[in-house]
Structure 1
Amino acid sequence: MSHQPQRRIAATYMRGGTSKGVFFKLTDLPVEAQVAGPQRDAILLRVIGSPDPYGKHTDGMGGATSSTSKTVILSPSERPEHDVDYLFGQVAIDQPVIDWSGNCGNLTAAVGAFAIEQGLVAPERVPDNGFCTVRIWQANIGKTILARVPITDGQVQETGDFELDGVTFPAAEVAVTFTDPADGALFPTGAKVDELEVPESLVAGGRLPVTLINAGIPTVFARAEDLGYQGTELQEAINGDPAALARFEQLRAYGALKMGLISDLSEAASRAHTPKIAFVTGPKAYTASSGKAIEASDIDLNVRALSMGKLHHAMMGTAAVAIAVAAAIPGTLVNEAVAGEVSGQVRFGHPSGTLKVGAEVVEQDGQWQARSVTMSRSARVLMEGAVRIPI
């Protein structure tokens, strides 16, 4: 019996922020994967190693977590004043599903570096020394993102002394700006606080106050106290409790329905990447997963967010956008949790430490708008060459 040899596909494995993913140039993909559809999904699923009933991704490039089971496809942008089109795929671990409904803010920091190194940015825009602002069109959500990439001797600078909680080693700082980050109406229901009507088995009384916001990524925010949590929990407190995870997933589904992202609760399973669900509380001291002591005076509030059904080990970049915008607008549950007034930037605690994010918001004719959100991340190439898949 004869067997076909594995296929080789040029690829780069990169870390961006607190995430990792497999990066491809669109033209390096097999022809059938250069357009959206089942064939593209099948190839990328096999690259990552999903679906994996063992939850390990032993036979693929994925890391068996929402932060490390990601794919990115880049191509030269045909849009004026943009350098590159960025398409992101969040790969499920135990299901044959790639969710294309949202962005990965962390990997955006790596998009700029990859685009420069792969010749997707015009050479005249890359200085010998200084910074290159890569103009990214985020194709999943139709938004512009700017990545300020440091350049040394004409090459992307990856090493440096910038430290990011959730990442073990320092690297070069990459400032990422999300322009006009709201996807449609900032508050899809028109309210800063809604009440989700849910089964009493999920929340006592069957009503849960939430802030539903479309900024960076659709997000459902609830008070930690309303869910029976302190807001300082680390991963194991949530991820080691199957009943808690099932409860959060059901609440997320009700939030998606209220936001108009799905028309029936059953559709939430196929839209696992969005919306996110998070819980907030005021500034409280805790010990981060690294053993680092976080004092209440170090932060404005605590936030814990779930991604792809698990509590995130740090914070998704897109969710950080939602946090910053919601914190800056009076009347939201996130703003309620903040200690004092937010003056442009908010520093929040997450399981791995802290993160500072700045948001510019304005109120016009009684409606709030988010103009931009900026945060600092880092990125570097981990491996480059080719992935092989038996297809």
Structure 2
Amino acid sequence: MTPELTQSSERKSSGHKPHKHQIKVPATYMRGGTSKGVFFSLTDLPLAAQQAGAARDALLLRVIGSPDPYGKQTDGMGGATSSTSKTVILSKSTQDNHDVDYLFGQVAIDKAFVDWSGNCGNLSAAVGAFSIHAGLVDASRIPENGIAVIRIWQANISKTIIAHVPITNGEVQETGDFELDGVTFAAAEIGVDFIDPADKPKPGEPGMFPTGNLVDEISLPVGVFNQGADVRKVRATMICAGIPTIFVNAEDIGYQGDELQEAINGDAKALEMFESLRAIGAVQMGLIGHVDEAQSRQHTPKIAFVSPAMDYISSSGTQVASSDIDLNVRALSMGKLHHAMMGTAAVAIGTAAAVPGTLVNLAANSGSSSSSIMPREAVNFGHPSGTLKVGAEAEQVNDQWTVTKASMSRSARILMEGWVRIPDES
């Protein structure tokens, strides 16, 4: 061995210090709808992480690989997008007439932050399947062949979700011919019902429209817009159904409504404008007290823009015809335009479309006169990856609108199962 190599070896050896081993935690990596996440059974987590708090957040951040100033989550399970930086914790339900309790954590990519303020509608489809795989559902509720109806308590928002999971020979059926735009391969269809996704209105309270109005105005600071510098006020429908969402018209903010991710996500000024809309709208909705608080509530509310149906080419290169859809919708999640559509935002879209006079309803009925605008029991909307149909059952209670159920179809599949490993310091 040369002297140089000997010296190098000695230098490395002298700097070595003992470190704790990594710990391994049972986990399952699943796709649900157009999202992916790491799923845990509550009792498989280390004791300190079985309770809400700093220890749990630290563990999930390390699992996903956040915070990552490079924005890649290379040293974790995250996929460097809001759709793939997600975690789910499940346990046998503590609620009557429910099978499983579902807790969702949206993990920030570049910040040490886990947002527990909302649900993930896409991963809700995977919750039912995982619950069966993990033995959290009583065997008597699972048919040998047919559909298992899994009653899910969404613990973040205290709502019920029903997942209709196909079963073949006593096991979850994952393969099939159901195609979901935004997902490359076909799989088995899972129906998902969101029960009472909006709070029931009470006398004197605004219900699912937190401002009490179907359409409001958001006043933006001067200079926020990329174009149309004379525009200061933006019409908005603000709704709490599925997930708190702010809808604006595409044309009011200088867009057409057929944009794909690259048109928005590479434009820092556009992202600043959308975040301003979201933060100011969140204050008007009563979700936060000051715009500065929006940074610590990145998951909610969502911000989306709508337009009448138009032809466009999806991100996969597929032609979407205006005759096949009712309207176009684009939504942002965690500060970026989503590649498809969040499941909870789809609930908000279906719900808003069901209420005459909202911006979503007006866009869906753009070919009708104002006097003939009617509720929409279902809409098929265009998003960057293709189309999605969502239905909603809405009704008026004490002269206020509420929704009793919203439904859509998704699919889910286990990608990997075993253990995730993280340094014991977490």
Which TM-score band (shorter chain)?
over 0.9
Q: For residues 325-384 of structure 1, what are the alpha-carbon distances to aligned partners after superposition, in whole Å with 9 as ceiling and x for unaligned?
A: 001111101111013555411000000000000100011231101000000000000000
Shift of 1:198: 2.0
Superposition RMSD on alpha carbons, in Å? 0.9
Does the CA-based 8 Å contact 2:224-2:269 persist in structure 1? no
Q: Out of 221, 237, 255, which is 2:247 matched to?
A: 221
In terms of mean alpha carbon deviation, does 357-366 or 108-117 score higher? 357-366
Q: For residues 191-247 of structure 1, what are the alpha-carbon distances to aligned partners after superposition, in whole Å with 9 as ceiling and x for unaligned?
A: 000111221323534211100000000000000000000000000000011111111
Q: Out of 394, 405, 411, which is 1:378 matched to?
A: 411
> 1:92 is matched with which residue?
108
Q: Out of 211, 214, 222, which is 1:200 matched to?
A: 222
Matches within 5 A, 1:26-45: 26-45=42-61
> 1:352 is matched with which residue?
385
Does residue 64 of structure 2 align to residue 48 of structure 1?
A: yes
The runs of 5 or more residues in structure 1 that have no matched partner are none
Does residue 83 of structure 2 align to residue 67 of structure 1?
A: yes
Does the CA-based 8 Å contact 1:202-1:251 persist in structure 2? no
Shift of 1:183: 4.0
Q: Matches of 2:289 and 2:314 in 1, distance apart?
A: 38
Output the amino acid matched with 1:247: M
Does the CA-based 8 Å contact 1:141-1:183 persist in structure 2? no
The list of structure 1 runs, each at least 4 consecutive aligned residues, that deviate by more than 3 angstroms after superposition, is 339-343
Does residue 355 of structure 2 align to residue 323 of structure 1?
A: no
Larger radius of gyration: 2
SS at match of 1:190: coil
Matches within 5 A, 1:201-280: 201-202=223-224, 204-280=230-306
Q: Matches of 2:423 and 2:133 in 1, distance apart?
A: 28
> 2:127 is matched with which residue?
111
Does residue 214 of structure 2 align to residue 189 of structure 1?
A: no
Q: Out of 13, 23, 32, which is 1:16 matched to?
A: 32
- Work out the percentage of aligned pairs sharing the same amino acid: 67
Shift of 1:251: 1.1
SS at match of 2:84: coil
Q: Matches of 2:185 and 2:174 in 1, distance apart?
A: 12
TM-score, L = length of structure 2: 0.91
The runs of 5 or more residues in structure 2 that have no matched partner are 1-16, 201-206, 369-373
Does residue 197 of structure 2 align to residue 164 of structure 1?
A: no
Does residue 171 of structure 2 align to residue 155 of structure 1?
A: yes
Q: Out of 139, 163, 175, which is 2:191 matched to?
A: 175
Q: Matches of 1:217 and 1:209 in 2, distance apart?
A: 19
Output the amino acid matched with 1:253: A
Q: Matches of 1:157 and 1:127 in 2, distance apart?
A: 12
Q: Matches of 2:95 and 2:398 in 1, distance apart?
A: 31
> 1:369 is matched with which residue?
402
Q: Out of 259, 270, 281, which is 2:307 matched to?
A: 281
Does the CA-based 8 Å contact 2:356-2:375 persist in structure 1? no
Output the amino acid matched with 2:25: I
> 2:12 is matched with which residue?
none
Output the amino acid matched with 2:244: P
SS at match of 1:67: helix
Query: Aligned residue pairs: how many?
Result: 391
Q: Out of 131, 134, 140, which is 1:124 matched to?
A: 140
Q: Matches of 2:408 and 2:163 in 1, distance apart?
A: 10
Q: Matches of 2:345 and 2:378 in 1, distance apart?
A: 15
